[in-house]
Chains A and B, each alone.
Chain A
Amino acid sequence: MKKSLLSILVLSSLLVLGGERRTAAQDDSRILVNVVLVQLNVAVTDRKGNYISGLKPEDFAIAEDKIPQKIATFEEGNEPTHRLVLSGPDGKMVEQTIKQTTQGTATADSPASIGPSITSSNVFILFDTSNYMYRGFVFAQDAIADFVRSLDGISRVALYSYSRDLSRAVPLTSERSTVLRGVRSTVAGDDAALYNSLLMTVKDAAQFTGRKAIVVFSNGPDNASLVPPEDVAELAQSTGTIIYMISTRDAQAEPISSAVFERMSKATGGKAYFAKSWKDEKDAFASIREDLAHLYSLSYYPQPNPNRGWRTITVKLVGENAQKYRIRTRDGYRVLKPAQIASAAGSPASSDPVAK
């Protein structure tokens, strides 16, 4: 029972609009939006870009549409044991330890803990195998394989590839060797539908608990997508999914993709890299690995907010840290309904492709 409750609550980091939507024609009263939990991944750096560790919940101040929020959970990096501060409806602060299971769910030492788990980290790698990538295909594989090997603190990794269509080469798994085999099984060819594929990857990621990050390794151009990057970015923001983007091109070579890569990754709390060389690619992966290892994860139950559209989030450091350090996280979200975040793998009847 505890586990299922946890799943329900943590899943709601996806921000689900509760209940059936009713129109004002039916009821003149405003609808209260039932948002269960908002999860934030926050990178804190100094002016030189060095990660700052050791901060406490009270060092952060969160507001949503300028409404101050109370932090419900807090953790730092990929440490297996985390400090959890529960701030339930009664506002009482309780410290608990959450242990991560291999399934990516979480259990608490105390039976009283029904708070959400954010202790597992899931990384989806989205590999561009379109014709655009053809010339550097094998080097890209090498770089991705190195990255996969290096993800020590990450619970699970999935490998997807795309050209015109998405291929779920390896569903989320804790078996690194399976992922590596998947990397070496990818094949090249055809058009590039990056944003279509990224949208489906975000949706798949949204099905899972814990911290979610997507690492896109792409040559950049998109000549086959139907959804615009704006929609993908919004969905990623609303589901709390960080997007890191590595372009194998110079930023100046393709201004449209460069703009998207920079702005989309920034909006989701991630980063963009433009790797002109094999070494740049390795450096980019190393940077992502570092970033993932140093993120703070905070969550809060939103205070009553009548806004059913875009909600702006601001996260600040308080006290002396406010001036010294910089913060990177998503800047808002839109309340979603279950149908919007249902996995793209199929209808609700679907049982595949990714193990929960």
Chain B
Amino acid sequence: MRYILRRPDLLALALTALLACPPVVWSQAASSRRLSRNSPGGSSVSRAADGVVIPGPLRSFLRMAGISQKVPAEEVMPLLARNVFMQGYSQQKPTEFLLLLSRYVQQARELRILAGSSGTINVRGCGDAGTLLQILGYRVVGNCQDKGLTLATSNPDLAFLTIDSGFPLMTLEESLQKGVEFNYSFPSTRVPVLMRESDWLALDRKRSADNLVDLMVREPGIARLYWAMSRNDDETNLALARAPGLARLLPYAPVLDFYGSEISIRSGRVLVPGGAKAEPVWRELAGAGPDNPGEFVSHLVSKDNGWLAAYYDVLSRINVSQQQHLTEPARMKRLYEAFRFPQIDPPATASVFRKAPGLLLLFTRVEWDPDGQPHVPGGIDLWKEALGQKSDYKLVHTWAKRARGWNNSEQLLEAMASLSRLDTDTGPLQAYLTLSEIDAGRPGNGKLSADACRLLTKNFQRFGTWYLVFSEFPELNDESITRFMNVAESIEGISNVTLRGNVVGAMQANVGIWQILARQGEIPAAELNDSWMKAMGPFAKITSSSQLFDAARSSVSEVMKSAGATNISQEALVDLMAGPPQQTAEGQRIRQEIGTRIRNVFEDQRLVSLDTLFGLSDGLAAMAQGAPAQQNMLALAGELREFEMPRPIFTNSEKISWAPGVYSTHHAELQVKTDLTKVIKGPGTKSQLESARGQLSPFLRDALVGLNYAYYEPPGAQVLHNNSLFVRSHDFSGLTVVSTERSWMPPELMGVGTPAGGGAYLMGSLSDLPYALASTEQDFIAPENIQALIWKELVPDLLVSATVPRWWSISPHELHAVTLYQRSGEELLLMAEHDAALRGQVSSILANRMAPQRLETLDKSLANNEDAIAILAQTIPADTFYLAAEYRRRYPARVASIGPQNQQLDTLCSQYPSDTTTQRLSHDFGVPHPVLARSYAPGLLYVKPFPSFGGASSRLFGESWESNNLYWARLADEKGYEPAALNRLVPELTRRMTAKIFATDLEDWPALERAMQEAGQEFMQGKVTGFPSATTTTLLQAPDGQPQIPASGGSR
């Protein structure tokens, strides 16, 4: 697993006991107000009934414990617990991380004693510094009160702790140099404990621990239970502590950790997914009723190796509408039986990540027919065939046999639930999900035909990642799908590997350009199919390189024409890709900037322009017809030779020896050798001239691929500008590295950390290019916080949400509507404080987006009439947007009476209905969900934050974070920017936000929110320079009419 925070990763010894040294101060962040605003899980202060003392400044302890220094005090113990069981042991032995923490605690204890009752370490001079320096592991070099005095390491182990914990060594050194007093406040800090410390100490049968920190570090099992329960709400925890009790839960800590956070007990009853109608089934499945929480939970977590708990967790996470379908008693029971089929081994907790992410995907996205049955694209018989296809999984074969007798869609859904336990991205479940998404976007009379579905399922393992384009553009009909399949099939049949790679690259690049222009609305909806067919058609039968050149040229020309271009040139294409023409001066300027960015990448990759290639091809073709060489031909040919390989540092033999298995730069080297001057000077035969034209096809491939790369340039990109081989090294087939062809698979980043390999490159297709580029460039964003690292599992999704959507067709009214939706949601929250009925409505709506713990905290804040900032701190922009939208849908008649923000929104919606629909706002301010919704189409899915999974499903967490673009849009509106400015603002603000993320664990969404808010505040305060000036500034009005801090919603 990758870390989010830096910490040494070496083996070590055990931790010694902590000593609680008085005096003790409560962490500053432990006030009720601060806690409620800073709680990552939304935990309330009520849980801080007890406290544990951390010796030394909290900041130092957090550094050593690998915890973000921005977490609230009440999160210290849960995150310590989490880090201990996640990182503290390897093969049942303590790791270096734990050893360092142990040593630090010892050092802090000694320093606390030195600090004495005043809590301040005081050194009056060199003669007084001996003890302190001994504890710190340093010695004095030079004379006292001399500016040449320095502190040097005497004990490296202690010195490391001194440095790593952030002790102000330089201040001490300077004090000794100047002969002035050194004073350093070194208080111990009391941090809250979940329930009572004694509850946890009682779990320690050895009775060897004096306090909770000591206990946790020694007992990772207890630490895991603590972490798991810290994700639950208070009422549930209190009920669980009573029955079945912590001791009975302890063996099931892993189950509770992975699948327990959605368990909610209220008034002595477990609130099971599906509600009262589902209770009998839950009673049957678990062997105990929800009316007996202790027994129910005990049975739930212990049943079937954790699989029942996993099933419960998934059903709890989906929205109410899906729950209603899936918890139909008979269906729910059958689905679970299928899910646990055929065996319950390995356990649901058998790895470091949760199992079966596919079940959550399936239950989140399954579509329902009007008769309440699960939708089956293509009909049930098709899926019987699909399951019968070749598979490496025994479970698929088992279901294929079972499927022979199927006669309804429920049976298919059960099979899919069962197959969700397979660890694959190309199985029948993924095919079903993908086809369901394609069908969901199509109108009722335009659903996928059985034949189209058959074609799609048959080829899913090979071409499935390309189906995302059919989800994104449901206008593409079955004929377009068939054309794609036929062309892809035809390309697969090209036996010459080099030619095949070039055809694949050029064809996929043109599809990419089509996708860009279609997404930007430059290809009219009515033209999508026609343009698609014309883009595909030329690639249908390629047998030579010169044919490829003509095909790629014809294809891209057709795409450009469909977008209205009359002049087929590189500039015209860049102009189209930069965005549709803008009416305002600002819009024109920003569009020009984006065009320049595309050109910059193209030039930095030292690619040859389309104009040069087309000019050369035309000239050679004319020569083949007997015409003399045109005057500029030699100059054009000279441009081909301008590309040079980077100056070598390694010899070829060193590369072979030191970078084995890394793809060579064969494609680029061939280009370096390409010299058309001889054939141009002639005389050349027709065959030679045709061959020369063929030599242009690799250059054309790279130019088209490079334009795709350039368009999706992530903010802060460096590889695109500094590794001139990056585009040329794109290895479509992958056959030099892997045994199976990768030409249609998602691109993978190769060659990382191989200095002699010539740099990283992408291997595979262009299907998931925006994400692949974001993964490539993310580590060039420098974190601002000491100890922070780039969050690899999340940041690419953030960057994709900033590079794929564009904002060229947004009206000012639409932009303002985004703001008003968020403000209206905030207003609803604030009004709910004084209105119990409204509070219930608000809570009911937000239950679709919030886990029980967050919802409980918000409910308490509302019931306690906490101040506006505290209330709003419980939510994020996607919450308030959803709240307002859903409230308007459910209670349209009451909207106008809520308050001025809702009134303004209502008025705006009445005046500009088409600009303000939630569908439109979702499309324009949502984010792509290529894994969650199998499409790069931006949208808002309004799901709860997904938990972290392994593999490709690790992207689900990032894709479920939908707040960024809503928030950036609101800021832009409140600062008076034109909507087109978002094309520049969003990437830059996202980059800045990324640099500010200071997270501890893989589900640390509060860290995301903090970073987003910090970036937003900098922007609002004018600290982000270089943006175009805004025209006006709108002021937020609080419900009472008082000015409000702009965009305060969700601030922590």
Partner-B contacts on A (CB < 8 A): 21, 23-26, 28, 30, 129, 131, 134, 137-139, 141-142, 145-146, 149, 163-169, 177, 180-181, 184-191, 193, 195-196, 199-200, 203, 222-231, 233-235, 237, 255-257, 259-260, 263-264, 267, 308-310, 332, 337, 339-340, 342, 344-351, 353
9 nearest A-B residue pairs (beta carbon): A189-B6, A349-B1026, A24-B635, A226-B760, A223-B753, A339-B600, A228-B759, A230-B646, A138-B159
Contact string, B781-803, partner A, CB cutoff 8 A, digits 1/0? 11100110110000000000000
Interface centre among A137, A189, A195, A340 (most CB of B within 10 A): A189
On whether the beta carbons of B776 and A226 are closer than 8 Å, the reply is yes
Q: Does B441 contact A (CB under 8 A)?
A: no
| B973 shortest CB reach to chain A, Å | 19
In the assembled complex, which residues on chain B have CB atoms less than 8 Å from the CB atom of A264? 649
Identify B631's interface contact among A28, A129, A187, A224, CB under 8 A: A28
Chain B residue with Cβ nearest A348: B1026
On whether the beta carbons of A177 and B6 are closer than 8 Å, the reply is no
In the assembled complex, which residues on chain B have CB atoms less than 8 Å from the CB atom of A180? 170, 173
On whether the beta carbons of B647 and A267 are closer than 8 Å, the reply is yes
Would A181 and B170 be within 8 Å (CB), given that A225-B753, A349-B1027 are in contact?
Answer: yes
Identify A227's interface contact among B3, B150, B759, CB under 8 A: B759
On whether the beta carbons of B8 and A134 are closer than 8 Å, the reply is yes
In the assembled complex, which residues on chain A have CB atoms less than 8 Å from the CB atom of B779? 164-165, 193, 196, 224, 226
Identify B604's interface contact among A146, A196, A255, A340, CB under 8 A: A340
In the assembled complex, which residues on chain A have CB atoms less than 8 Å from the CB atom of B169? 184
In the assembled complex, which residues on chain B have CB atoms less than 8 Å from the CB atom of A353? 782
Identify A349's interface contact among B642, B658, B1025, CB under 8 A: B1025
Which B residues between 134 and 165 are near A, CB-CB below 8 angstroms? 137, 150, 152-153, 156, 159-160, 163-164
On whether the beta carbons of A230 and B753 are closer than 8 Å, the reply is no
CA A337 to CA B597, docked complex, whole Å: 12
| A329 shortest CB reach to chain B, Å | 15
In the assembled complex, which residues on chain A have CB atoms less than 8 Å from the CB atom of B1017? none
| A305 shortest CB reach to chain B, Å | 14
Q: Does B987 contact A (CB under 8 A)?
A: yes
Chain A residue with Cβ nearest B4: A190
In the assembled complex, which residues on chain B have CB atoms less than 8 Å from the CB atom of A255? 658
| A113 shortest CB reach to chain B, Å | 31
Q: Does B444 contact A (CB under 8 A)?
A: no
On whether the beta carbons of A349 and B722 are closer than 8 Å, the reply is no
Can you list 10 contacts pairing A with B, beta carbon distance less than 8 Å?
Answer: A134-B8, A139-B156, A145-B150, A167-B782, A186-B786, A187-B163, A195-B755, A222-B753, A224-B752, A339-B604
Q: Does B244 contact A (CB under 8 A)?
A: no
On whether the beta carbons of A188 and B6 are closer than 8 Å, the reply is yes
CA A255 to CA B655, docked complex, whole Å: 12
User: Chain A interface: which of B543-551, B607-615, B908-916?
Assistant: B607-615
Partner-A contacts on B (CB < 8 A): 3, 5-10, 63, 137, 150, 152-153, 156, 159-160, 163-164, 166, 169-170, 173-174, 570, 600, 603-604, 609, 611-612, 614-615, 631-632, 635-636, 638-639, 642, 644, 646-650, 654, 658, 715-716, 718-719, 721-724, 749, 751-753, 755-760, 776, 779-783, 786-787, 789-790, 984, 987-988, 991-992, 1023-1027
CA A349 to CA B988, docked complex, whole Å: 8
Would A256 and B756 be within 8 Å (CB), given that A24-B636, A138-B159, A145-B150 are in contact?
Answer: yes
Chain A residue with Cβ nearest B66: A189
In the assembled complex, which residues on chain B have CB atoms less than 8 Å from the CB atom of A257? 755
Identify A199's interface contact among B137, B722, B752, B1025, CB under 8 A: B722
On whether the beta carbons of B755 and A260 are closer than 8 Å, the reply is yes
Interface centre among A30, A226, A234, A260 (most CB of B within 10 A): A226
On whether the beta carbons of A186 and B612 are closer than 8 Å, the reply is no
| A232 shortest CB reach to chain B, Å | 8
Identify A340's interface contact among B156, B611, B721, CB under 8 A: B721
Chain A residue with Cβ nearest B160: A138
In the assembled complex, which residues on chain B have CB atoms less than 8 Å from the CB atom of A195? 755
On whether the beta carbons of B718 and A224 are closer than 8 Å, the reply is no
Tell me the number of A-to-B contacts counted with CB atoms below 8 Å: 228
In the assembled complex, which residues on chain A have CB atoms less than 8 Å from the CB atom of B9? 131, 189-190
On whether the beta carbons of A138 and B644 are closer than 8 Å, the reply is no
On whether the beta carbons of B649 and A230 are closer than 8 Å, the reply is yes
On whether the beta carbons of A23 and B611 are closer than 8 Å, the reply is yes
| A242 shortest CB reach to chain B, Å | 17
In the assembled complex, which residues on chain A have CB atoms less than 8 Å from the CB atom of B781? 165
With contacts A23-B636, A141-B153, A227-B719 known, what are 8 further pairs, Cβ within 8 A?
Answer: A164-B790, A165-B781, A180-B170, A189-B7, A190-B9, A337-B604, A349-B1025, A351-B1026
CA A24 to CA B639, docked complex, whole Å: 7
CA A28 to CA B630, docked complex, whole Å: 11
Would A344 and B163 be within 8 Å (CB), given that A167-B783, A234-B646, A310-B644 are in contact?
Answer: no
In the assembled complex, which residues on chain B have CB atoms less than 8 Å from the CB atom of A199? 718, 722
CA A234 to CA B876, docked complex, whole Å: 46
CA A234 to CA B600, docked complex, whole Å: 18
Chain A residue with Cβ nearest B64: A187
In the assembled complex, which residues on chain B have CB atoms less than 8 Å from the CB atom of A235? 722
On whether the beta carbons of A138 and B163 are closer than 8 Å, the reply is yes
In the assembled complex, which residues on chain B have CB atoms less than 8 Å from the CB atom of A184? 163, 169-170
Chain B residue with Cβ nearest A30: B635
On whether the beta carbons of A227 and B723 are closer than 8 Å, the reply is yes
Would A230 and B647 be within 8 Å (CB), given that A199-B718, A224-B753 are in contact?
Answer: yes
Would A227 and B718 be within 8 Å (CB), given that A222-B755, A346-B991 are in contact?
Answer: yes
Would A187 and B1025 be within 8 Å (CB), given that A24-B635, A134-B10, A228-B758 are in contact?
Answer: no
CA A167 to CA B631, docked complex, whole Å: 53
Interface centre among A26, A129, A264, A332 (most CB of B within 10 A): A26
On whether the beta carbons of B638 and A24 are closer than 8 Å, the reply is yes
On whether the beta carbons of B1024 and A225 are closer than 8 Å, the reply is no
CA A136 to CA B609, docked complex, whole Å: 51
On whether the beta carbons of B163 and A141 are closer than 8 Å, the reply is yes
Interface centre among B632, B642, B991 (most CB of A within 10 A): B632
In the assembled complex, which residues on chain B have CB atoms less than 8 Å from the CB atom of A340? 604, 721-722
On whether the beta carbons of A142 and B153 are closer than 8 Å, the reply is yes
Would A28 and B760 be within 8 Å (CB), given that A224-B753, A234-B646, A263-B649 are in contact?
Answer: no
CA A231 to CA B987, docked complex, whole Å: 26
CA A191 to CA B790, docked complex, whole Å: 12
On whether the beta carbons of B722 and A227 are closer than 8 Å, the reply is yes
On whether the beta carbons of A26 and B611 are closer than 8 Å, the reply is yes
On whether the beta carbons of B1025 and A351 are closer than 8 Å, the reply is yes
On whether the beta carbons of B649 and A259 are closer than 8 Å, the reply is yes
In the assembled complex, which residues on chain B have CB atoms less than 8 Å from the CB atom of A129? 6
In the assembled complex, which residues on chain B have CB atoms less than 8 Å from the CB atom of A234? 646-647
In the assembled complex, which residues on chain B have CB atoms less than 8 Å from the CB atom of A344? 716, 718, 780, 782
In the assembled complex, which residues on chain A have CB atoms less than 8 Å from the CB atom of B1025? 349-351
| B151 shortest CB reach to chain A, Å | 8
In the assembled complex, which residues on chain B have CB atoms less than 8 Å from the CB atom of A350? 988, 1025-1026
CA A346 to CA B639, docked complex, whole Å: 31
In the assembled complex, which residues on chain A have CB atoms less than 8 Å from the CB atom of B603? 21, 337, 339
| B756 shortest CB reach to chain A, Å | 6
| B905 shortest CB reach to chain A, Å | 31
On whether the beta carbons of A177 and B150 are closer than 8 Å, the reply is no
Identify B759's interface contact among A23, A193, A224, A226, CB under 8 A: A226
In the assembled complex, which residues on chain A have CB atoms less than 8 Å from the CB atom of B8? 131, 134, 188-189
| A164 shortest CB reach to chain B, Å | 6
On whether the beta carbons of A200 and B786 are closer than 8 Å, the reply is no
Identify B646's interface contact among A23, A166, A185, A228, CB under 8 A: A228
In the assembled complex, which residues on chain A have CB atoms less than 8 Å from the CB atom of B5? 189
On whether the beta carbons of A310 and B988 are closer than 8 Å, the reply is no
CA A254 to CA B120, docked complex, whole Å: 47
Identify B654's interface contact among A23, A163, A166, A259, CB under 8 A: A259
In the assembled complex, which residues on chain B have CB atoms less than 8 Å from the CB atom of A339? 600, 603-604, 721
On whether the beta carbons of A185 and B638 are closer than 8 Å, the reply is no
On whether the beta carbons of A185 and B753 are closer than 8 Å, the reply is no
Identify A228's interface contact among B615, B723, B988, CB under 8 A: B723
